[in-house]
Amino acid sequence: MCIRDWTADEAKLDVRLCQMVRLFDGGDPIKMSKRSGSFITVSELIEAMDKKVGPGLGEGVVRFIMLTRKNDAPLDKVSNSNNIQNIETLNQLERLIKTSNNCPLKNQALNTVFADGNPSSKIMLIGEAPGAEEDKLGKPFVGAAGQLLNKMLAAINLDRNSVYITNIVPWRPPNNRAPNTEEILQCLPFIQKHIEIVNPSMLVLLGGTAAKAILTTNHGITKLRSTWHTYNSPKLNLSIPTRAIFHPAFLLRSPAKKKEAWEDLLAIQKKI
């Protein structure tokens, strides 16, 4: 089925977004009838994605793609998450992620890096992806950036036992590069479900990659930090206060930015 000649609706769906109709899940393309001379509506696209990634999760995937129209690798498949709507616990989610084969990053990683910290905490930290040390040990933020994160938490009277930590992507990209759009898309239903299960009162997004994915925006971390945002969970029916801050790894490379990071930490402390 060719989709490149499909027209767009009032939301100006372009070819990049229309490629979502071709996303694969277990080898089966999303089924959507073509009506000659008609439009693909956003609601139809969301409905189709809901059938693939789970009820209520399609909108987040659609919004992310609409806001990340880049000329990088073509989108070939979405996460193999037919059963994700049935997931109710973190243990179930971890098993699902570990047994999924949708993302090629898994084939090169040593471990699936799921989470660390206190799952009962109402403060959830989300980074971008594991690094070499995290991949080796199977825990997020255990390398040099993790040590700095520990100090940042301690500065506002928190520690790893009082927060919950995870990443957008649970597998290490080669050479510690940032995950690309396709990889984020493949893992987006996982992090959406992760947030839903933890049900935090606050999200702290570590770095631009996490901030863009969760807030579905093209703005960089410099524009996103220093203010409060909201994350609207498809299933929780509530808005979660969300703060984007510099990634600890960035602060190691750019120590002059620590002053701005401290301002964000103080804002977080005040909000707790």
The tens digit of pLDDT for each residue in 130-158 reads 999 999 999 999 999 999 999 999 999 99
Q: What average pLDDT does range 170-188 have in this prediction? A: 93
Confidence grade of residue 107 (pLDDT, cut at 50, 70, 90): very high
Q: Which amino acid is at 187?
A: C
* Region of residue 59 (phi > 0: left; psi between -120 and 50: alpha; otherwise: beta): alpha
Q: What average pLDDT does range 162-172 have in this prediction? A: 98
CA 168 – CA 83 distance, rounded (Å): 19
* Contact criterion met (CB below 8 Å) for 112 and 97: yes
Compute the Cα dihedral for 257, 258, 263, 265 and give only its sign. Answer: positive
The closest alpha carbon to 242, from 227, 229, 232, 261, belongs to: 229
State yes or no: pLDDT of 28 exceeds 90.
no
Label residues 99-120 b or e (16+ Cβ within 10 Å = b). Answer: ebebbbbbeebebbbbbbbbee
State yes or no: pLDDT of 270 exceeds 50.
yes
**pLDDT the model gives residue 238:** 84
Query: For residue 168, how far is the Cα from the chain centroid?
Result: 4
State yes or no: pLDDT of 220 exceeds 70.
yes
% of the chain at pLDDT higher than 70 = 70
Partner residues linked to 234 by β-bridges: none
Please compute Rg for the chain using Cα positions. 19
Q: Which two tokens stand for residue 4?
A: 């490149």
CA 130 – CA 113 distance, rounded (Å): 7
State yes or no: pLDDT of 31 exceeds 90.
no
**Mind listing the pLDDT tens digit for each residue in 237-254?**
789 999 999 999 999 999
Give the total residue count for the chain.
272
Confidence grade of residue 234 (pLDDT, cut at 50, 70, 90): low
